[in-house]
Each structure stands twice: as structure tokens, then as C-alpha cells.
Amino acid sequence: MAKTAIPIEIQEQVKQSVEKYNSANRANYQVTFKGKYCYLSRMDNRKTIEADVMLRAAKELGLPVNLFNQAPTVETKIGRLEWTGDMGKWGFAVFKYSRETYDADEWMFPGSDLLDGTIEGAMKAGHKIYP
């Protein structure tokens, strides 16, 4: 396992892979980097009960409803990828909301069979882990 930070060139390759995947799959994955880790999350527009209540109240009060028509964007943390020195062999730790931590030892979750050491495999698994 690599102990050093992810090189800038690799970070750029990862960002390009994410953009390509997002484009092809109408997804909105994002990555951030810290040291040897690449954090994968997905931004989703989700209609919430609160948004529905605000929309109804705006309509009843005669306020412009276009302010409330947008569903709020919610970040879903998927996992943490660990740089091993090889673009095709990333380590993966799933984000566990029950403990608010990343767990590299957890492998019993939907989509784990899609993890193949690649960034794309992690994004495919992300749709199953947290649909």
C-alpha cells in the first residue's frame, strides 16, 4: 500500500473518470482528496417532506412558488478509496451511516460484487450501496 499522497496527475485522471461516468450515467458523483485517500460521494436532488410543506405554504400565501420548486441537493457519502500506487487497484472502505465511519473490513453490502479496484467499479457499487 502506498503511504504517500495521491499524485496530482492521478487526481486529474480520477476527476476525468468521474466526469466521464457522470456523463454516461446521468449521475452526479464527486470526489475529494486528502492524503492517500479519495472520498467518493454522490449529490442527489431529493424531494423532502419539508420541501412539500414549504411549497404548499407558498401557494396558499400567494408567494412565487418557483423558489420552492427545486428539490434540495443531498450529499450521500459512498466510500473512501485508498491509493495503492495503481489506478486499477484502489482499496475501498464503505461509509457506514450507522457509525458515521468508513469501514474497510465491511464487505456484506449490496454492490460489493461490483467493486473491482477501479474508480468506475466504486461508482457502480455506489448506486447499489445507497440507491
pLDDT tens-digit readout, 62-105 = 666 565 556 667 889 999 999 999 999 999 999 999 999 999 99
pTM beyond 0.85: the answer is no
Name the more confident of 85 and 51.
85
Domain residue spans of the chain: 8-47+76-129
Reply yes or no on whether the pLDDT at 1 is more than 60.
no
pLDDT tens-digit readout, 104-131 = 999 999 999 999 999 999 999 999 999 8
Residues β-bridged to residue 38: 33, 81
d(CA 88, CA 86): 5
